[in-house]
Structure 1
């Protein structure tokens, strides 16, 4: 019996979608389900449908802006992806917090401390969380704050942290979490895999530095006002050859990010060494740019990073090839592709779906499931887990 089975389908009715997944998984009883569900489905109805088909097994996961499977990729809102863990010896222990609404750093610390109490050294831990704090006004649960708190609570023990933020759609209008037998808002779940399971990740974004290192000399939250003592927007416009004051609104979002390189700043370029932050908007009156996350600090050394679709696609091809090569001589269990929703062709304008390069190029013998996320989490530069933007994280769970 295969230890892991996957299915991905698309149907408007939860009962039919769950039944189709059940037929593809097979009649044997799974020990746990990892589920990602399009945001147009009613989560309570979907949870009931899955439990009707699969029985009273724990179900973890949540909403997704889209689902990625061998059968195809979709983000219309009615997708359902199921990963069934058939071997009880591979089932992770689940730890939960419902405190994101109150304080994201504190909630992360609560979760990290609980994980630290049960995790083996260098444990593989999958972190999944509701990305949307409020629809009106539009507010996010900052992933960087959750991850920062998690590490504070967990401590300095080695850890293999990966995961992502859950959305209902690409407009960031909602999110929710499957937590065993419940559907929750403002929650995060950590799945702590047994000691015999490890995870390998490859980070794929394709953003490349087009500037030297610059110091953030004025910042407030996520709004960067100055780089090297000059208005941040002026510096970026000059680097891109744009006329001063010519950038309005969100025009920078599809062309550049701000990147922070971790580790040796003089080491050769490796995209897995960078944390990139999307630029949400420019404010010419203040000369500032606002980032997707508020974790860059005063004094941080950053670079302007070029972002385009050809770099993104080349990055995926290289990353998949590297992961395939790294699997030789190992015992992989399954792969999870956590893909920024902005990288889908409907958002990025890419001629092809970059996720299809993963499903078509990654080792066909390894069960694969993926979802479109709000934020991605992975180990950066060989260090601790960090939240990422505009990134695809290919994570392969394997036996140690």
Structure 2
């Protein structure tokens, strides 16, 4: 892994790539995580002379995750996987909006078609965080691979203070409104950890009326009223959109599923006047949910637990590295000091191997069950 906080995007890409690849010529895949503040074309222009024609995927982020890196806000991080024990196939599906499920199936079919004789495989998907219907893309991917391999990844993010744009990388392309994928096949194992750090508040509630990602009523009460009342919200949160967003962004809901609770963000105030909770993912009518809350300590503990679970999945093999897909809402709760503490904790589970990652607008992880889309969650991939 290599990282750079250089202000010049071409220099940042080149520095990070040189640190990741070194003097070796057997890289099989580069994963590039890049601040949305950077010009992605210039970042690629810095990487390519170092890495040659090595297959490449990646996306934008609010900040990169890297042990010992202090200037992550404008950073570039490059992860290199290689050696004789890896085979990699990459793919991209463009113009995703309006055909999300088809696009998810399309890219997954492309990256799985080659096949491999290696024992261990993982599907990595990087989606555009500005595209609605993330679950549909992942359902399309699942329709191709089913339960045959674990799935990890995340949704690209814009920078919170800059223009609202995202981007993804595939090979020499900079794309958007796309889903980028790779199948990594290895002689060594992979481990996946999935934790969030939120705890349930009170008894479960029934989703008595919903429409995809909008929750209209909970226990036959207007959803906003029922949610805020359960959590003891201040009066201003019931009517003032900024106050609601500040309160709700770190108080998600947990949706019961066959694989356990799936966390959904409800910090969008667009439905406040109608009494509707707007989620980042689908909340099924007739389902069971819990309002949830957490604090710095529980979120940090989740980072420890996710890394521990991922390393345990290697069945005793030493990790070659950890790759983290961490929700940017968790980062806002932690603040700069808490983020540094979280990175130090994750790095401790990787040592002496490297840690790299990014902050996402939705996390991808499927190890069991069908659901693979998560909010306000940390996903860790351990490479053995």
| Interval containing the TM-score (normalised by the shorter chain) | 0.7 to 0.9
1:125-145 per-position Cα deviation (integer Å, ceiling 9, x unaligned): 11112222xxxxxxx343222
Closer/same/farther in 2, CA of residues 350 and 274 from structure 1, 3 Å limit: farther
Closer/same/farther in 2, CA of residues 317 and 284 from structure 1, 3 Å limit: same
Contact 2:121 2:149 in 1 (8 A): yes
Closer/same/farther in 2, CA of residues 281 and 375 from structure 1, 3 Å limit: closer
The residue number in structure 2 matching 1:174 is 165
Q: 1:195, 1:385 → 2: CA distance?
A: 25
The residue number in structure 2 matching 1:47 is 44
The residue number in structure 2 matching 1:383 is 369
- Aligned residue pairs total 373
Gaps of 5+ in 2: none
Q: Does 1:286 align with 2:286?
A: no
Closer/same/farther in 2, CA of residues 170 and 145 from structure 1, 3 Å limit: farther
Segment of structure 1 superposing worse, 217-226 or 100-109: 100-109
Q: Does 1:161 align with 2:151?
A: yes
The residue number in structure 1 matching 2:53 is 56
Closer/same/farther in 2, CA of residues 96 and 197 from structure 1, 3 Å limit: farther
Q: 2:342, 2:293 → 1: CA distance?
A: 21
The residue number in structure 2 matching 1:136 is none
Q: 1:155, 1:39 → 2: CA distance?
A: 31
TM-score using structure 1 length: 0.84
Q: 1:35, 1:244 → 2: CA distance?
A: 44
Contact 2:126 2:179 in 1 (8 A): yes
Q: Which residue of 121, 129, 132 corresponds with 1:131?
A: 129
Closer/same/farther in 2, CA of residues 124 and 43 from structure 1, 3 Å limit: same
The residue number in structure 2 matching 1:135 is none
Shift of 1:284: 4.8
1:197-233 per-position Cα deviation (integer Å, ceiling 9, x unaligned): 5421111211111132222111123221111212112
Gaps of 5+ in 1: 1-5, 133-139, 265-272
Shift of 1:334: 2.4
TM-score using structure 2 length: 0.87
Q: Which residue of 254, 257, 277 corresponds with 1:259?
A: 254
1:82-104 per-position Cα deviation (integer Å, ceiling 9, x unaligned): 11223154141112211313421
Shift of 1:147: 0.9
